[in-house]
């Protein structure tokens, strides 16, 4: 079956612009995560959705970052007034359960969107 | 706050040989999960192996096994019979249990090169 997909694969924008990054999780997966991966670093947690609601948004760096998942499937990460420091690969992952009595199940990652802010 | 440290930026191994990647972490929690993820050049992260802290037995998945030392807060990954396809970035990750947080905390990664 299809895996997690992310669009666009690359995005180049100018400082101050608004961008939207899209994530299509595996069908039926209720849990969805967004991460940011800067060059030479590991992924940094941004936000976690269980269904339509953001269960943990403690990783969002500031109020320029916002994410939605209105129907519990596709999610969009929105970045306002982009800054050069926002340049990174943005990864999305989904899992069938997220967490529960038997602990977190396997996250399936997408290929990421490379965002470059000029 | 929890931290994950991978002190080996890069490692090399000869094909068919064994290599061990190191990971240490810091936490005050008694129960948690630990993971190793593989990230090939395609960028798509893949789960290699996971360990529940309450389990004393080390996890194994085919050629991959871990050495989990809870008291020392160490979680190393051993790859046996290394193959060219094992070449990738490897990330160690930590996740709390039942604390209301869903964060995965990743280390900075180790780049593994496999020499033919």
pLDDT at residue B96 is higher than 90? no
Nearest by CB: A42 against B101, B103, B108: B108
Contact with chain A for residue B107, Cβ under 8 A = yes
Evaluate the CA torsion angle A65, A66, A72, A74 in order and state its sign. Answer: negative
pLDDT bucket at A55, cuts 50 / 70 / 90: confident
pLDDT bucket at A2, cuts 50 / 70 / 90: confident
Cβ-defined contact of A43 to B108 (cutoff 8 Å) = no
What is the DSSP secondary-structure string of A103-114?
-----EE---EE
pLDDT at residue A93 is higher than 70? yes
Would you state the structure tokens that stand for residue A102, as one six-digit string? Answer: 């038997």
Question: Which chain A residues have a beta carbon less than 8 Å from that of B31?
Answer: none
Question: Which chain B residues have a beta carbon less than 8 Å from that of A107?
Answer: 45, 47, 104
| Nearest-angstrom CA–CA distance, A8 and A22 | 7
């Amino acid at each position: 079956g299809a895996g997690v997909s992310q669009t666009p694969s690359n995005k180049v924008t100018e400082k101050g612009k608004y961008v939207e990054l899209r994530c299509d999780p595996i069908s039926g997966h209720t849990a969805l995560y967004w991460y940011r991966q800067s060059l030479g670093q590991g992924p940094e947690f941004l936000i976690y959705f269980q269904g339509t609601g953001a269960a943990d948004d403690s990783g969002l760096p500031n109020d320029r970052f916002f994410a939605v998942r209105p129907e519990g499937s596709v999610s969009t990460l929105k970045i306002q007034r982009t800054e050069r420091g926002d340049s990174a690969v943005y990864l999305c992952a989904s899992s069938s359960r997220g967490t529960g009595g038997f602990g977190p199940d396997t996250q399936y990652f997408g290929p990421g969107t490379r965002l470059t802010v000029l | 706050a929890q931290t994950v440290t991978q002190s080996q930026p890069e490692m090399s191994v000869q094909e068919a040989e064994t290599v061990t990647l190191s990971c240490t972490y810091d936490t005050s929690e008694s129960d948690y999960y630990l993971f190793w993820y593989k990230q090939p050049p395609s960028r798509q992260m893949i789960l290699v192996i996971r360990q529940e802290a309450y389990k004393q037995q080390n996890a194994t998945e085919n050629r991959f096994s871990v050495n989990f030392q809870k008291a020392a807060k160490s979680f190393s990954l051993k790859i046996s019979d290394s193959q060219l396809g094992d070449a990738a970035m490897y990330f160690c990750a930590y996740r709390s249990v039942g604390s209301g947080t869903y964060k995965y905390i990743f280390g900075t990664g180790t780049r593994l090169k496999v020499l033919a």
